[in-house]
A = this chain, B = another copy of it.
Amino acid sequence: MKGLDYVLLAGLWVESRTGYDLAQWFDKAARHFWAAHHSSIYPALAALERRGLVGYTLAPSQKGPQRKIYALTSPGQDALREWVSQAPNPAEIRDEQMVRAMVLDLLPLEEALQQLEEAKARYHAQLETYQAMLGQLEATPDPPFRALGVRLTLLRGVRVQQAYLLWCEDALELVKKSALEPS
């Protein structure tokens, strides 16, 4: 079993849902730690179903085809439990922003600063969406899903975006300073 399989199991443990729902969750809430497109989700769910780790029930949809609402099975929960007790593989990250930072002084000072301001705005926007989702979660008395895991991931999103914003301030300062003393 590869990484995506466990992410899907974890997603279904939090709440039973469709492949479509999972794709949306990746896109809007899980971005900061995992990504997957529907074209990889659907086959993976089908494979998990064949192996008995998840099951689905059909439900009508308002628009389009029937929804396959997937849920963890008992064996699926066992597999997850066993997996979660192990140490995680190191995180894989590809962040072009840092690569651009490496060569920021190829740009004239003003453009470099503008780049950083734009990054700051992006991080800020992202921070606000995570905070909004967290706020909404806290305002829900009895959520129809496992709240702890959701809370933990959103909290991580917030912490990380905050760190990114601090880095932007560091970077703005350093870039300005290094412009005064050109090497």
What are the interface flags for A155-169 relative to B under an 8 Å C-beta threshold, 1 for contact and 0 otherwise?
110011011101100
In the complex, A21 has a CB within 8 A of chain B: no
B84 x A103 contact (CB < 8 A)? yes
Q: Which of B102, B103, B148, B156 contacts A98 (CB under 8 A)? A: B156
In the complex, A11 has a CB within 8 A of chain B: yes
Q: A3-B96, A13-B103, A93-B34 are in contact. Are A167 and B149 (CB under 8 A)?
A: no
Interface residue count on the A side (C-beta < 8 Å): 68
How long is the Cα–Cα vector from A147 to B95 in the complex, in angstroms?
20
In the complex, A100 has a CB within 8 A of chain B: yes
A162 CB contacts on chain B under 8 angstroms: 163
Q: Which of B90, B118, B151 contacts A87 (CB under 8 A)? A: B118
In the complex, A58 has a CB within 8 A of chain B: no
Binds B, one of A37-45, A48-56, A63-71, A170-178: A170-178
In the complex, A120 has a CB within 8 A of chain B: no
Q: A33-B95, A34-B94, A88-B96 are in contact. Are A149 and B103 (CB under 8 A)?
A: yes
Pick the most buried of A84, A91, A159: most chain B CB atoms within 10 A of its CB.
Answer: A84
In the complex, A17 has a CB within 8 A of chain B: no
Q: A7-B99, A96-B91, A99-B33 are in contact. Are A170 and B148 (CB under 8 A)?
A: no
In the complex, A124 has a CB within 8 A of chain B: no
B94 x A178 contact (CB < 8 A)? no
How long is the Cα–Cα vector from A153 to B65 in the complex, in angstroms?
47
Min CB gap A38→B, angstroms: 17
Min CB gap A115→B, angstroms: 8
Closest 5 CB pairs of A and B: A102-B149, A163-B163, A33-B98, A88-B96, A91-B95
